[in-house]
């Protein structure tokens, strides 16, 4: 098949036009790293999706400077009193597969945008029902599902890339800590392990699992 010069130009322009409408896959904005961490606490799956900014030589200029204190007007969006997005780029999103308690306060199963109003002596942690907006530029306190207060902790070693870490696990609880530079912000998550287990048993007893469990081993036939 023969192509004329004009035909090749037309084809090339068509390809450029198509690609201009479909964004190409590139590194995250600002060189931040996308991440996800998940652990099971009892029978509850807890997943955190976030982006990881780096310190990049800004030691001593992160908390209270790059990360503004309390609530601030960021100069964009509808929010005039926005907390920090607790990460970079898109919202940090917590997802709980069952109801849990955070710092002793109940929150229902689901996904939540996670924000922090930072103060050196006490931080306000916010779980918002709006988890799809970009950052906290459109934050609205009316969409808050839960607010709790915790004390930040000083780390002995600097953490270059922001991370979320699970620690102090028991069969029904764990501490989740945001760690960046030399600050750690912890929150305690608890599950009603016994009642979740009982509810799971009741549900499974109404399925083929329950039928197999109720048949004595000597009578069971595959």
pTM of the model: 0.78
Contacts of 43 (CB under 8 A, 6+ apart): 98, 191, 193, 196, 197, 200
Beta sheet of 100-102, edge-to-edge order? 105-107, 100-102, 173-190, 153-167
Per-residue pLDDT of the chain (222 residues; tens, 9 = 90+): 454 555 555 555 554 454 545 555 455 566 789 999 999 999 999 999 999 999 999 999 999 999 999 999 999 999 999 999 999 999 999 999 999 999 999 999 999 999 999 999 999 999 999 999 889 999 999 999 999 999 999 999 999 999 999 999 999 999 999 999 999 999 999 998 666 666 656 665 666 665 555 545 555 354
- Please name the residue ranges forming H helices in 2-41: 5-21
- Per-domain boundaries in the chain: 33-207
How far apart (Å, rounded) are the C-alpha atoms in residues 152 and 70?
13
């Amino acid at each position: 098949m023969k192509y004329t010069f004009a035909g090749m130009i037309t084809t090339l322009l068509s390809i450029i036009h198509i690609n201009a409408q479909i964004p190409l896959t590139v590194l995250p904005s600002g060189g931040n790293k996308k991440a996800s961490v998940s652990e099971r606490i009892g029978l509850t799956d807890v997943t955190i999706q976030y982006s990881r900014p780096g310190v990049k030589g800004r030691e001593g200029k992160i908390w209270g400077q790059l990360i503004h204190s309390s609530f601030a007007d960021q100069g964009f969006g509808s929010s005039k009193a926005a907390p920090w997005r607790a990460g970079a780029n898109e919202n940090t999103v917590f997802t709980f597969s069952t109801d849990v308690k955070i710092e002793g306060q109940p929150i229902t199963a689901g996904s939540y945008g996670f924000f922090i109003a930072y103060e050196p002596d006490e931080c306000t942690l916010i779980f918002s029902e709006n988890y799809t907006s970009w950052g906290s530029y459109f934050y609205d306190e009316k969409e808050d599902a839960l607010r709790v207060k915790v004390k930040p902790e000083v780390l002995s070693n600097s953490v270059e890339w922001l991370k979320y870490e699970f620690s102090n696990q028991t069969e029904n609880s764990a501490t989740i800590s945001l760690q960046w530079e030399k600050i750690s912000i912890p929150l305690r998550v608890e599950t009603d392990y016994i009642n979740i287990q009982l509810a799971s048993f009741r549900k499974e007893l109404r399925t083929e699992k329950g039928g197999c469990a109720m048949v004595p081993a000597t009578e069971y036939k595959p």
